[in-house]
Amino acid sequence: MPTITLIEHNGTQHSVMGEVGQSVMQAAMNAMVPGIQADCGGACSCATCHAFVEDAWTGVVPAAEDAELDMLEFANERQETSRLTCQLTIQENMDGMVLRLPESQY
Amino acid sequence: MTLSSVVIVGAGQAGFQVAASLRQGGFAGRISLVGDEPGLPYQRPPLSKAYLLGKIKAENLVFRPAAFFDQQQIELIHDKAVIIDRQNQRVVLESEKALEYDHLVLATGAHNRPLSIPGEHLEGVFGIKTLADADALAPRAKDAKNVVVIGCGFIGLEFAAVAAAQGASVQVIDRGGRLMARAISPQMSDLFLKAHESWGVKFHFSQAVDQIIGENGKVVGVEKADGEVLPADLVVYGIGVIPNITLATEAGLEIENGIKVDADLLTNDPHISAIGDVACFPCVHNHGEHTRIESVPNAMDQARAVSARLLGKAAPFVATPWFWTDQGNLKLQIVGLSTGYDSAVTLGSMESNQFSVLCFRRDHLVAVESCNRSGDHLAGKKILSRPPELTAAEASASDFDLKAWEMAHRL
Ligand SMILES: Cc1cc2nc3c(=O)[nH]c(=O)nc-3n(C[C@H](O)[C@H](O)[C@H](O)COP(=O)(O)OP(=O)(O)OC[C@H]3O[C@@H](n4cnc5c(N)ncnc54)[C@H](O)[C@@H]3O)c2cc1C
Ligand code: FES
């Protein structure tokens, strides 16, 4: 099971175990990570599961599809490395991946 | 008084979220979550879309795995609440077990309005509310040849899009004259009408259904009021819901189109709150009128508001309502309430299916509907959640850009 680290805006780190095929959002919700609200339950409609992928891992995550890019376009604190974690499916090669959470979800 | 036990009736979207938010906020007392559906609490939106298409599995519908309830000491009780004994502050369950509460949260949701016509109970006639409904429907939807959908609200249309994508011939009957009429502007209805027609869906407007016709107990057709019979091996209806108020009514709580609550989401009993689909609250986004909203975001926001109040951080409920629906390749997002709007400005183009409708009432923005323009949705949400207000005159300027306006007007 890949382990993914989510860092809250205040610096608190959460290492969560994810299952391959599950979304990063689901893994974070199951671990009760504050800062991921996921109001729409993964329907790519709310942008409250926003996170920034640490630079070293941007090459590992597959590119976002149009619907996600549309949502990200106006998400709070949008950055180059922004992703909606409900659209990020966990794969074996994501073991050790680090994501930071935006201030607006703090 | 310090709070040591919270009982929540209804383990759906709102009920589950109260339990989770209470624990996340540090509540250390007893939490009992009573639900009359089997299994773990789960989300409903995929039931009429992604789940039927096999894009999401049952285990991913649940809000949290079983271990979460143990870890967080949330007592999930599979039972039905039958009596609220307000005097003694306890809830009696069907099993005759009783739960004492310092505070009770009613999150009993709503049930589908029945068709109430001959043939409504024939095999092959479905409403979609529960996972059990969706599990019974999914295999039939895959093989159906002639599908008739009764009602062109969100759930009926979501299902029509699924059935068309799975190769069925789909016909939709509605008493009214346009799609999702209760919730969206005629311009947006029109875009969805064209899209559904391009997927092969046929519409029969201003038509009532007289009966569902069966042979050997199975549905074979739907008879409209004008006498025409549409062949059908599967009928799905979505004609609205009725709030589950029996428990509250019998307990003498105030009822008005649901369980009536105040701006703090409290009923007329200070030890009882009501939230989600069942609650009718004074809505600041609807001129303060008592309003009942059936949506996931409303259930979540109200759950968080009640949890915050129980943790000592009370604040009137003012969250901006929003909603989404996915139909085929279209994502419609709505923020605000367009009730009583008197003018509209459109952005984007219908032809490209990237289209937004800004609804104004007395020259102030009250709602933004966006199809495949999520940026507009999020900008609209920000604008509607705080001043200054956008006027119709500003939005009518050529080249008006909602996102740019929002950015330029941040406080
Ligand atoms: C098919 C479908 C698709 C939807 N799609 C969307 C969408 O795309 N976007 C969106 O925003 N919203 C959508 N919704 C609406 C959304 O799911 C509801 O608004 C939301 O679930 C309301 O939450 P709730 O907790 O108030 O009610 P519910 O989730 O319905 O939960 C209420 C629960 O209480 C239980 N209960 C009732 N009485 C008792 C009792 N006496 N004792 C014990 N348990 C009891 C019920 O069985 C039920 O499990 C959809 C709904 C459906 C049915
Ligand atoms: S959970 Fe709503 S967009 Fe990801």
Residue of A nearest to B379 (CA): A74
pTM of the entire structure?
Answer: 0.96
Domains annotated on chain B, with CATH = 5-111+242-310 (3.50.50.60), 114-239 (3.50.50.60), 329-408 (3.30.390.30)
pLDDT higher than threshold 80 for residue B1: no
Closest to B154 (Cα-Cα) out of B194, B124, B195, B183: B183
Chain B contact for A26, CB < 8 A?
yes
pLDDT, one tens digit per residue, over B8-21 is 999 999 999 999 99
Provide the pLDDT for residue B139.
95
Interface residue of A45, A69, A72 to substitute, partner B, most B CBs within 10 Å: A45
Average pLDDT of the residues in B19-34: 96
Q: Report the C-alpha gap between B390 and A93 in whole angstroms.
A: 47
Helices and strands of chain A, counted as H and E runs: 2, 5
Q: Report the C-alpha gap between B43 and B62 in whole angstroms.
A: 6
Q: Is A64 in the pocket of ligand 2 (CB under 6 A)?
A: no
CA distances in angstroms from B284 to B61, B312, B364, listed in the order given = 32, 23, 14
Distance B80 CA to ligand 2 centre (A): 32
pLDDT, one tens digit per residue, over B315-334 is 889 999 999 999 999 999 99
Where residue A75 falls among pLDDT bands split at 50, 70, 90? confident
pLDDT, one tens digit per residue, over B273-315 is 999 999 999 999 998 999 999 999 999 999 999 999 999 998 8
- Tokens representing B266 are 């409290």
Domains annotated on chain A, with CATH = 3-100 (3.10.20.30)
Average pLDDT of the residues in B360-386: 94
Helix locations, chain A, DSSP H = 24-30, 66-72
Closest to B180 (Cα-Cα) out of B161, B202, B155, B162: B155
Whole-complex ipTM: 0.92
pLDDT higher than threshold 80 for residue B388: no
Interface residue of B56, B62, B296, B374 to substitute, partner A, most A CBs within 10 Å: B374
